[in-house]
DNA sequence: TGAATATATGAATAATTGTTCATATATTCA
DNA sequence: TGAATATATGAACAATTATTCATATATTCA
């Protein structure tokens, strides 16, 4: 299980760094969850869905139609978005309306957009 | 090239929605770039590297050592982070020091962390 | 110059993932 | 109840990707 780990002889206190980091870093589990969250933002179809829902709540079929994609593909991605609590939905007859779950999503998308536009 | 696109008969003005969306959505290219940016945040090794660098600038070898991973794996991921301008580096003799490129990264990580902790 | 050290990188492999296709479930309405 | 509609989902395939291993490049120093 142990890997062969490098150990450089850089002119700074290596051990102090490592000790500090071990103290202040979030747990392995949280870092993993965080990566998993961003993984949901990492597909352009899902990004498009989020932008569409930023405009307004919308049913699956209209999302598909707006993005020129099949209902199946959109449903699959909505499931991923829902599992990570980025969208919520409500049912009205046969129709299911999806909307953004909270404001972090807008902030994250906004900061990301700022970054790529710089 | 054309796909078979669904068209529901939901009791709202479908065409108006679609028209609005086409107007206000960022370009296909930007949405793609945005997904690509978040893709960089979507791996736990890269997330860990970013958290390490949030503490302080650090050389490749110490990052590897802190995370208990090989130098090669870290170098590969640093390249990805650099390409997306999430980290920058400076060279000092044999040693290359990496650090976070700007503040969006901290905001994005922070918002992501808030989301998963809710 | 040659040995040692720090980092970078190409190729290969294993694992993950987005879409499609077919089909299942749920709801309305005649 | 049966047909039509809206959405969900399992399986399969193609494409992408993180790590490892081997090796290359760059720098220092004796």
Is A74 part of a structural domain of the chain? yes
Share of chain A above pLDDT 90, in %: 75
Q: A6 or A91: which carries more pLDDT confidence? A: A91
Q: A56 CA to C16 C1', in Å?
A: 32
What string of DSSP letters covers B78-115?
HHHHHHTTSEEEEEETTEEEEEE--HHHHHHHHHHHHH
The chain B residue lying nearest A115, using CA atoms, is B104
Q: What is the CATH number of the domain that holds A102?
A: 1.10.10.10
Is B19 part of a structural domain of the chain? no
Residue pointed to by tokens 């609590």: A85
- Tens digits of per-residue pLDDT, B23-44? 889 999 999 999 999 999 999 9
Share of chain B above pLDDT 70, in %: 88
Is B96 part of a structural domain of the chain? yes
Is B77 part of a structural domain of the chain? yes
Is B52 part of a structural domain of the chain? yes
Is A38 part of a structural domain of the chain? no
Question: Coil, strand or helix: which one is B3?
Answer: coil
Nearest to B98 by CA among B68, B55, B41: B55
The chain B residue lying nearest A117, using CA atoms, is B30
CB A74 within 8 A of CB B8: no
User: For the CA atoms of A41, A42, A48, A51, what is the dihedral angle to 10 degrees?
Assistant: 30
Domain count for chain B, please give it: 1
Q: A33 CA to D19 C1', in Å?
A: 20
- Tens digits of per-residue pLDDT, B75-104? 999 999 999 999 999 999 999 999 999 888
Nearest to B38 by CA among B89, B93, B1, B84: B84
Is B108 part of a structural domain of the chain? yes
Does the pLDDT at position A117 exceed 50? yes
Average pLDDT taken over every residue of chain A: 89
Please check whether strand D approaches the CB of B116 to within 7 Å: no
Give dist(CA B102, CA B69) in Å, integer.
Answer: 25
Range of B63's domain? 44-117
CB of B25 within 8 Å of any CB in chain A? yes
CB of A111 within 8 Å of any CB in chain B? yes
**Span A3-7, average pLDDT:** 54
């Amino acid at each position: 299980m142990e890997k062969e780990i490098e150990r450089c002889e850089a002119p700074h206190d290596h051990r102090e760094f490592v000790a500090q980091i071990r103290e202040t870093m979030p747990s392995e589990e949280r870092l993993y969850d965080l990566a998993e969250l961003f993984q949901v933002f990492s597909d352009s179809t899902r990004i498009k869905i989020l932008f569409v829902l930023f405009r307004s709540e919308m049913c699956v079929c209209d999302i598909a139609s707006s993005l020129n994609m099949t209902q199946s593909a959109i449903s699959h991605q909505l499931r991923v978005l829902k599992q990570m609590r980025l969208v919520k939905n409500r049912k009205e007859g046969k129709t299911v309306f999806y909307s953004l779950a909270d404001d972090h999503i807008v902030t994250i998308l906004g900061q990301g957009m700022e970054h790529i536009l710089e």
